[in-house]
Amino acid sequence: MQPQHRPTYPRMLHPGAWWLWALGLAAAASRTRNPVPLLLVVAVTALVVAARKGDAPWARSYAAFLKLALLVIVLRVVFQALLSSGSQGPTVLFTLPELPIPGSTGIKLGGVVSLEAVLRAFYEGLQLATIIVAVGAANALGSARRLLRSVPGALYEVGVAVVIALTFAPQLVTDATRVREAHRLRGQSGGVRSLKRLIMPVLEGALERSVELAAAMDSRGYGRTSDAGHSARRAAGVFSLTGLLGLSVGVYGLLSGTGADWMGMPMLVAGALLSALGIHLGGRRTGRTTYRPDPWAFPEWAVAGSGLVAAVTMFVTAEVAPGSLILASPTQLPPVPLLAVLGILVAALPTVLAPPLPRAAAEETTSTGQREKVAA
Amino acid sequence: MSTTRVVPLQLRSGVALALASAVGLLGFLWPFFVEPGAALDSSHSGDAPYLFVAILPLLAAIVLAELTAGGLDAKAVAMLGMLSAVGGALRALGPGMAGIEPSFALVILGGRVFGRGFGFVLGATTMFTGALITGGVGPWLPFQMMTAAWVGFLAGSLPRLRGRAEVALLAAYGAVAGLAFGMVMNIWFWPFVSYAPEVSYVTGAPLVENLGRYALFYVTTSLLWDAGRAVVTAGALLVAGTALLRALRRAGRRAAFGVPVAFER
């Protein structure tokens, strides 16, 4: 068995697997407003992030997303309490001073605030917050920058531009700090004018570098396209445009109440498939290979599959027992949808199924060096 | 002042852009157009927002692939990367959403100087880079990319003017774009939120009624925020517009975009 198939062999998991896993959890959260499975999803993401996140800068984004999620819940509850005097329940918590807004808007500020309205707002906010937290876990675990390596060939140039931008952005921040320090040493104060004095040298430096970089890329043969590209290009265009037409018709069919059945979802799916094929064919023209591609081995299948299990069990529960996922009354004790809960617990398996991170870059290089010696 | 067309818009990419923009626009504006009894009528299911969250990345990918199908040359890619880097770095300096404004001014200037096709791609890559730098990749990203791309595209389509009039035009456009960006981005998540029945979206209600509800939602939640963005974008363009335009045009001349390369024996 090759080492990358073992969950114990330390390496970076393919970021795509983490994103699929998080997508599964987010899809599961989108089906329910029951706080039990929602809080469980949050707990599972926290567990996996704690177990498998690295120490790269983007790994900190989970905390930022958690804050955003909390903000969503708080905003939702506050707005519900302040704005919706019309949709309150019978259990009155307290009464705020009321401020009617003139005009026929029907909006009232303040008034009675009931337990039902606050709880309903909390559950709805919790659903959105859970989706946000799942996305945050994906950001923390699977680096989107690493995912850029798997960008389809048709988007090669755009991908290169983004890689250039990511490489030079930290330098530009350094540039900006240096310029600002120079200003301060000269005793120039801040203000609107200082913005111009700051951005001009930074931009000039960036433009200068871009011209140099282009010359360097040209001299290294960037932009060579394969000869087989011409017919593939035409085919890609045909597929993309037909696919786009299909998407347009599909969206129209879904939005209008009178269209035939075939105009809705079938057309949309066909259009999406055709345009995906177009993007795939469009990638032929570059004819390039990837240096040390990220492997997609057993741990990747396991991680992505565990997210899928969570989504599927939730969708099955939504079909079989919808009452356990959307509460009829917000004040009732939330039931425990057993199947969905088991599915979400399966999504916690990446804590052991995902390979541990290589401890440090230095250690990794020495160990690969030893392996190569052994292989030789 | 001639405009260099760094990313030329041919018939094929133009059609792709128009179609994708039409579907993308529906991805934002669908709450106003759902007919009662339609498959997306959210009184049956709340799936409509998720559907468009799934479609938008595909749309963005198709348009970007088609726009660059002829193969961008190294100079264009390097310029695109550097300008996105400046936008992304500006975003990293400002906290959260507040950092979008200066990069907005840059997208407008880039679209103005290097043409509308370049503006479109620049808007998309700037938003993408900013999201990667701040670690904020999420379902909102394709929507931001599409909207910023339109901002860059329209900046490249503005009528030709010179001197102070051009800067004034760009600043006015920046203010409008700043407001419109917030308005459009809010529609994206409007159906997700239901703070109160008076400001929430009702499926199948007449267009005017839903527009009224949206206006109320917009004024109560985010007008102040967006007004700030509009003022900052316009202010940045007014203060530094002339100098930045000159710098970008000089770089464009030095790079000599669009000059045919001929080898002689």
DSSP structure class, residue B162: -
pLDDT value, residue A345: 93
Tell me if A355 sits within 8 A of A8, measured CB to CB: yes
3 state SS for A326-358: CCCCCCCCCCCCHHHHHHHHHCCCHHHHCCCCC
Q: Is A112 helix (H, G, I), strand (E, B) or coil?
A: strand
Residue among B197, B242, B221 nearest A108 (CA): B197
Taking CB atoms and an 8 Å cutoff, what residues of chain B touch A172?
85-86, 89
Q: Check whether residue A241 and residue A206 sit in a common domain.
A: no
Residue among A297, A366, A359, A294 nearest A10 (CA): A359
Q: Is A77 on the interface with B (CB under 8 A)?
A: no
As a whole number of angstroms, the distance between CA A338 and CA A138 comes to 26
Across chain A, what does the average pLDDT equal? 81
Q: Is A131 helix (H, G, I), strand (E, B) or coil?
A: helix
Last residue of a domain, one of A250, A267, A286: A286
pLDDT value, residue A375: 42
Mean pLDDT of B17-40: 78
Q: Are B136 and A61 within 8 A, CB to CB?
A: yes
In a domain, B5, yes or no: no
In a domain, A324, yes or no: yes
Assign residue B229 the CATH number of its domain.
Answer: 1.10.1760.20
pLDDT tops 90 at residue A11 = no
In a domain, A12, yes or no: yes
Residue B150, phi then psi, degrees to nearest 5: -65, -40
Mean pLDDT of A136-153: 83
pLDDT value, residue B256: 75
Between A66 and A231, whose confidence is greater? A66
Last residue of a domain, one of A286, A309, A326: A286
B238-250 pLDDT tens trace: 888 888 899 998 8
Tell me if B162 sits within 8 A of A46, measured CB to CB: no
Q: Check whether residue A121 and residue A173 sit in a common domain.
A: no
Range of the domain at B207: 11-255
In a domain, B261, yes or no: no
B78-117 pLDDT tens trace: 899 999 988 887 776 654 444 556 788 889 999 999 988 8
Q: Check whether residue A11 and residue A122 sit in a common domain.
A: yes
H or E element: which one contains A212?
Answer: helix A192-219
Residue A349 is which amino acid? L
Q: Check whether residue A93 and residue A35 sit in a common domain.
A: yes
Q: Which residues contact B121 (CB under 8 A, 6 or more apart)?
A: A158, A161, B7, B64, B67, B68, B80, B149, B152
N residues, chain B: 265
pLDDT tops 60 at residue A372 = no
Mean pLDDT of A101-128: 75
pLDDT value, residue B197: 58
Stretch 60-99 of chain B: residues touching chain A, C-beta under 8 Å: 61-62, 64-66, 68-69, 71-89, 92-93
pLDDT value, residue A100: 65
Residue among A256, A355, A369 nearest A299 (CA): A355
In a domain, A199, yes or no: yes
Q: Check whether residue A95 and residue A168 sit in a common domain.
A: no
- A interface test, pick of B29, B40, B45, B137 with most A CB neighbours within 10 Å: B137
Mean pLDDT of B43-68: 79
pLDDT value, residue A134: 92
In a domain, B4, yes or no: no
In a domain, B265, yes or no: no
Q: Are B12 and A164 within 8 A, CB to CB?
A: no
H or E element: which one contains A318?
Answer: helix A298-320
- Which two tokens mark B196? 């109160």
The pLDDT-based confidence of B14 (bands split at 50, 70, 90) is: confident
Between B206 and A125, whose confidence is greater? A125
pLDDT value, residue A373: 41
In a domain, B113, yes or no: yes
The pLDDT-based confidence of A44 (bands split at 50, 70, 90) is: very high
In a domain, A38, yes or no: yes
pLDDT value, residue B252: 85
In a domain, A98, yes or no: yes
Number of domains chain B is built from = 1
DSSP string, B184-222: HHHHHHGGG--S-TTTS--TT--HHHHHHHHHHHHHHHT
Residue A290 is which amino acid? T
As a whole number of angstroms, the distance between CA B207 and CA A202 comes to 47
pLDDT tops 60 at residue B1 = no
pLDDT value, residue A109: 67
Q: Check whether residue A64 and residue A159 sit in a common domain.
A: no
Last residue of a domain, one of A200, A219, A238: A219
In a domain, B229, yes or no: yes
- CB-closest option in A203, A258, A272 to B86: A203
Stretch 38-57 of chain B: residues touching chain A, C-beta under 8 Å: 38-41, 48, 50-51, 55
In a domain, A224, yes or no: no
Stretch 1-20 of chain B: residues touching chain A, C-beta under 8 Å: 12, 15-16, 19-20
Q: Are B71 and A105 within 8 A, CB to CB?
A: no
pLDDT value, residue B144: 87
| Chain centroid offset of residue A246 CA | 26
Q: Check whether residue A14 and residue A138 sit in a common domain.
A: yes
Number of domains chain A is built from = 3
- Beta-ladder partners of A113: A94
Q: Is the dihedral of CA A232, A235, A239, A240 positive or negative?
A: positive
Mean pLDDT of B178-188: 82
Q: Which residues contact A187 (CB under 8 A, 6 or more apart)?
A: none
Q: Are A244 and B73 within 8 A, CB to CB?
A: no
Mean pLDDT of B167-188: 87
Mean pLDDT of A23-32: 89
Range of the domain at A326: 3-149+293-375
Residue B262 is which amino acid? A
Angle in degrees, CA A116, A117, A121, rounded to 5: 115
Between A243 and B31, whose confidence is greater? A243
Helices and strands (H, E) in chain A, number of each type: 13, 2
Q: Which of the given ranges, A366-375, B21-30, B37-46, has the highest pLDDT on average?
A: B21-30
Mean pLDDT of B21-35: 80
The lowest-confidence range among A43-57, A97-111, B118-132, B243-257 is A97-111
Q: Check whether residue A129 and residue A143 sit in a common domain.
A: yes
Q: Check whether residue A208 and residue A256 sit in a common domain.
A: no
In a domain, B28, yes or no: yes
